[in-house]
Structure 1
Amino acid sequence: MLTSVSQLLARTVGKDQATSLTAACIVAAQLVMVPVAIFVGRHAERLGTKPLFLVAFGFLAARGALYTLSDDPYWLVGVQALDGVGAGIFGALFPVVIADLTEGSGRFNVSQGAVATTQGLGAALSATLAGSIIVWAGYSANFLTLAAIAGAGFLLYLVTMPETKKRARG
């Protein structure tokens, strides 16, 4: 979504200011991501990985929908900060979930590589899809489509993915 936000910023405020605002989007997300990742690292065993992943998918879907409400540059930067919630959760928990699922199999590294490859392909396809939708139907349609995909990910994870971590007692 950041690529689309950056393009939207260039259209609304001009290329010079859009570069600075895109950088602000990245910094804002990072400032949120670090404390979220710390929280997740400390509480994943107690809370479980599944509910936390669902929160990440929920924030991703909400972010896409919120982008449609305004093209004000400060709104767009603020909404992009929500990316830090998802990134913090996904970044902290993907290795944990992979370790849980591959425990004792000797396939942790290959599984982590497969997930990273899938994420890279998803990012490339997402950018391609987003660009096509923007040309065809505009920015709001693009953000709503990406939000719907995140919502589908939420539902798929909810229905098909078991909790991988046994919760700590006490």
Structure 2
Amino acid sequence: MSTAGPSGDVLAIADREEAVEATVTLVAGARRRIRILSRVLDPGLYDDPRVLEALRVFATSTTDAEVRLLVLDATAIQRTHAPLLALAQRLPSVFQFRELADPVDRARADAFVATDNGGCYHREFGHRFEGEARLHGAGRARQLCEAFDPVWERSRPCNELRALGL
């Protein structure tokens, strides 16, 4: 990860390895809440064993952990057997999925992960790894979370992603 900006707070993410490193760092720094906007759980990022382990540790480290995931295509996630889906099905009280329903929301091109501890990794084009991460960017993380919440409310719960037999 390379530093951009005078404070060293903004990290320019250029490739998959940097994206994984930034995501692991952000998840490890989260206190109770993580918000993720992703097209189809970003192959190469959310299926990386290091990211999955960081999410597992976060989900099991506190009783009130919450990971909300907004996705564009729940069917594609189910069809590809995304590893994050398997983790989420084992910890359904922590991981919640919703699918973007509003046409305006579905037209979004970006993707991000934001935490309640002021960290975020935003990609203007969600199908690419290039973007900016802020490990201590409370203002930007808050903006992303505040934009996330109304979209969450108007999105469709993904009951089909729940494990059968629970």
Q: Where on the TM-score scale, by shorter chain, does this alignment land: which range?
A: 0.3 to 0.5
| Bigger proportion of residues as helix | 1
Larger Rg: 1
| Bigger proportion of residues as strand | 2
